[in-house]
Every structure is written in C-alpha cells, then in structure tokens.
Structure 1
Amino acid sequence: MNAVSLGPLVLAADRFAVVLGLFVFMIVTGIMSRRVDPRFNVWSWWAFLGGLAAARLGHVLLHLQSFQAEPLRVFALWQGGFYWPTGAAAVVVSLFLVLTGARQRLWALLPLALAVIVWNTSWQLTGGTRPLAVPERAFETLAGASYRLGERDGIPRVVNLWATWCPPCRREMPMMAELAADTEGVAFVFANQGEGKQAVRRYLASAGLSLETILIDPFSELSRFYGAPGLPATLFIDAEGILRHAHLGEISREVLQSNIERLATR
C-alpha cells in the first residue's frame, strides 16, 4: 500500500512526500539565513504558513458547498485537501513581500527547487498503488451471510478497513455511511478488522449507524492481503475486482467523492 512506516508512525505516501519536501525546504533556508542573508529565515515561515493557508483556502473554495454544511471541517487539516496552485501563488507573493532584492529572490529558488525535487522523487518511489486482484475467499457478513469481494457483477467497490477502537475510523464513518446510502452504481463494503460481531453491533448501536454490507474479518486478513500498515484504509476496487487506489488514514468527503468518480468512469 502507498504508505511509509517510520517506527510506530505511519504516513500515507503523498503526505510523507510533502512532509519530506517541507523539511528540506526549512533546513536549506535555515542554512541560507546564517550564511547568505538572515531574511531567509523570515521568508521561509511566510512561504510555509502562507502557502499552506492559501492551498487550504483554495481547496475549500473549490468545494464550498460541501464545507458550508460542515464549516468547522475547514480546520480538519489531517484529512488532507489542499489546492496547490493557490499555495504556489502565495509562495511567489511572499518572495516579493519579504525578499526585496533580486539577488535574494534568485537564492530563494534553490530551496524551492530542492523541495520540489525531493517531494517528486519521494512520491515516485512510494506513491504507487499495485493493481492487486481481490482475494478469492468469502467473508462472513454481520448478518451471517457469505460475501465475496470478487463477485462478477460489474459494480465497482469502495472497501473501508476499520475497527471500533480506531478514532479516525469513528470520525469518518458517519460521512461514509451517508455517501454509501446516497451513491448509486458503487457498492460500499465496511470490513471490520480484528473484532467480532458483538463489538461491531455495540458500536453501530451506540453511534446510530446503519450500514448495508459489513464484513467480519477477525484475523485482519484483508489488511495483510493489501499491506495496510494501519487503520482506517479505504480501497477503491474497479468493476473487474482490481485495486486502483488506496487511501491510508482518515479520508475527507471530497477525496472520497473524487475517487468514486474515477472508479465510475473507468
């Protein structure tokens, strides 16, 4: 799965690439502030915070209708959701607001270029999704029926790997349940990992949730099969039963919807 494990810390590959690029940017600008011009220290923070805020604002404006219903979700940065063209524009503006000379602006291209190179290289090395076919075995549902992910019914699937003890799983579950009920042409499958029916029923009753297809995977076989190093993980499987994309960690409504749209157009 497109994720990077650093001891107990697990990051999705795209987020790891961004963090690594930002780390290189801050290190290089720190060195330049001591050896070239102290203004690079101030500029690095303007570029970092201003770029981050502008990228988030751009994403919110692109999906304004979604955020109007849940305005506090604007601050849920851990879900992801950044529009990098507006972030890049803010970085360019910071060049002219903080660095007043042409020489300083030319120097500023060095940490920016290095950060982009490191980000791109890291993403290319860790960000791919292997197109795995679904496992052939059947899983038991919460209702006691037998369910095969590889049913040849021509319907793509969104498979959510989750557990009742997992806080981000619990946070995203109501939104996913809502989309599952409202989305046509895509089957949602909620595969509980490592727990029994009683724990799942208890959680659903306390949360007031109703989900159509819940698989009981007491030995976390799906997590091992797909190489998911943590929970939650959301798998996007096409109509032929092939994994096309995997998202590790809490997923936002916008990212979920965009990946569903890609599945529907394959």
Structure 2
Amino acid sequence: MNAIALGPLVLSGERFAIIVGVVVFLLGAGLLASRVSPRFNAWSTVAVLTGLAGARLAHVVANWTYFADDPLRALAVWQGGFLWVWALVPVGVAAVFMLRERRLMLWSVVPVIACVIAGMATARLTSGTEPTPAPAMVLTRLEGGAVNLAAVDGRPTVINLWATWCPPCRREMPALARAQDAHPEVRFLFVNQGEGQAEVAGWLAEARLEIDNVLLDRAMAVPGHYGTVGLPVTLFLGADGRLARAHVGEIAPEQIDAGIARLR
C-alpha cells in the first residue's frame, strides 16, 4: 500500500512517481536530441538538476519555519517535500539559454508534458489509501499496561511503525516526539516492530527521548493488517479509527503537521 518494493529497496508512491517522471522526461529529451537537435542532451541534464533544486527550494521557502533551526535539512531530499510547479521556472530558463531557437524551445514542451502526465498517473496508481479500520489488536505498552488499537477516544490517531535498528526511524523520532507534545488533541502510538522491552527502553534512554504510548508489536502484526512494507511508516487515522493516509519512509516535521491538519 502506497509503496513500491524493488527487491530490498522500498519507495513511496510519491518517490516512485518522481523517478518515473524523470525517466520519461529524459527518454523524451533523448529522442529529441537524436531527431531534432543534439542541444537537447545538455539541456535535459541541466533541466532535471535545476528543476529538482527549484522544486525543493520552493518547498523550503514555503515551510521556512520548519527549517529555520536546521537549514541544512533542506538537503535531506530523501524526506520528500517538493513544490513541482516551481520546477518549471528553471526548466524554462534553461531552455531559453541553452536551446536558444524558438523552434527548439517549443519542442522542449513535449518531454515536460510527458513527464507531468507520467508522474501524475503513477502517483495516482501507487498512492491510493483504503480507509482500513484499526485492527482489533491489543499491544503491550512499554511503560506497562496494554492498548487496544481499535479503541477510539474521539481523537484522530497517528501510528508510527519503527525499530531501533532502522536509521530513518531514529532520525525522525525526535520530530514525532515534538509533535506528540505539540498536539495533545491527537493520539500518538509508537508501535515498535519485532523487538523486546529491554532493547527498546535502552535505545530510548540512550537517545534521551521521552515519548508516551510506545507499544511492542513482537509479531509485527500491524504492518500485515495495513499491508505496508518497509520501515518507517507513519499512519494517519481519522477520529473514527479508519486510515486516512500513509506515509512510507522518513517523515519530516512539516509533513507530520500537514498530515494532522488533513485529519481535521
């Protein structure tokens, strides 16, 4: 669900759609280079690099409050976060300066349109989310007691599937901990996958993280219920307990808040 597994590599639907769009763009530009003008070879390379940079920069600027304390996080492109409409600006500028002729600039629109269509179609096919109800599953809480995942209390729920051996899980955990503190109106459940109480407690103490509702899923049953692959995965559930959205891979602070805002 919402992810593509290529052997050991797991890509979210969004990231897979980006790859498909870029590949289609490069194939289209390569065809133009062989049939129309070799200038399209250099232009396509510059267009891809500057287009990605422009879309990422636009996202950072639009969400600057989340980057102000750690500007270098702008380089963490693996987290996702692009405003694709702004990619058209550097792509167009590159076409003006590198293709130069009006005829060639008009031809450059073709791979751009093909890229947009391919990326949007792939995203639609791979990023769908079924409104799956929460499982009637009782998990042990790290600090004692148990939690029934199917029990609702009128609040939306964020479920994070993670493990201590997973580097992206460890990187995103401080942001999720801050979100838990900032959003008492949301129930956060940190469902550890396949590890024991001592191992999980030891890592949290070492990382100096204080978070509530750390649950132990020794059988790794929750990913099976939702059909997710890979770690980490962050699930956003509505107040009725049904799945509204799934984020596969490391999640950024602005994406956490955006997911919560959609639940409202």
> Please, what TM-score do these two structures have when normalized by structure 1?
0.96
Structure 2 partner of 1:52? 52
Q: Does 1:32 find its partner at 2:32?
A: yes
1:32, CA displacement in angstroms? 1.9
SS at match of 1:116: helix
1:184, CA displacement in angstroms? 2.5
Q: Indicate the percent of aligned positions where both proteins have the same amino acid.
A: 45
Distance in 2 separating the partners of 1:212 and 1:141: 9
Distance in 2 separating the partners of 1:14 and 1:82: 10
Distance in 2 separating the partners of 1:8 and 1:27: 26
1:126, CA displacement in angstroms? 1.2
Distance in 2 separating the partners of 1:194 and 1:228: 15
Q: What is the alpha-carbon root mean square deviation over aligned residues? A: 1.1
Distance in 1 separating the partners of 2:135 and 2:256: 23
Larger deviation: 172-181 or 161-170? 172-181
Structure 2 partner of 1:12? 12
Structure 1 partner of 2:149? 149
Distance in 1 separating the partners of 2:118 and 2:87: 18
SS at match of 2:106: helix
Distance in 1 separating the partners of 2:86 and 2:117: 20
Structure 2 partner of 1:194? 194
2:167 alignment partner AA = P
1:72 alignment partner AA = L
2:194 alignment partner AA = G
Distance in 2 separating the partners of 1:223 and 1:161: 8
Structure 2 partner of 1:111? 111
SS at match of 1:257: helix
Q: Does 1:89 find its partner at 2:89?
A: yes
1:35 alignment partner AA = R
Structure 2 partner of 1:131? 131
Q: Does 1:231 find its partner at 2:219?
A: no
1:3 alignment partner AA = A
Larger deviation: 145-154 or 212-221? 145-154
Q: How does 1:156-235 map to 2 (within 5 A)?
A: 156-235=156-235
2:200 alignment partner AA = V
Larger deviation: 218-227 or 32-41? 32-41
Structure 2 partner of 1:61? 61
* Cα deviation digits, residues 104-156 of structure 1 (max 9, x gap): 11211221122122112211211101110000121111122110122231010
2:51 alignment partner AA = G
1:31, CA displacement in angstroms? 2.6
1:58 alignment partner AA = A
1:224 alignment partner AA = G
Distance in 1 separating the partners of 2:206 and 2:28: 50
Q: Does 1:100 find its partner at 2:100?
A: yes
Gaps of 5+ in 2: none
Distance in 2 separating the partners of 1:26 and 1:211: 45
1:35, CA displacement in angstroms? 2.5
SS at match of 1:81: coil
Distance in 2 separating the partners of 1:144 and 1:258: 31
Given that 2:25 and 2:111 are in contact with CA atoms closer than 8 Å, whether structure 1 keeps it comes out as yes
1:84, CA displacement in angstroms? 1.4
1:85, CA displacement in angstroms? 2.1
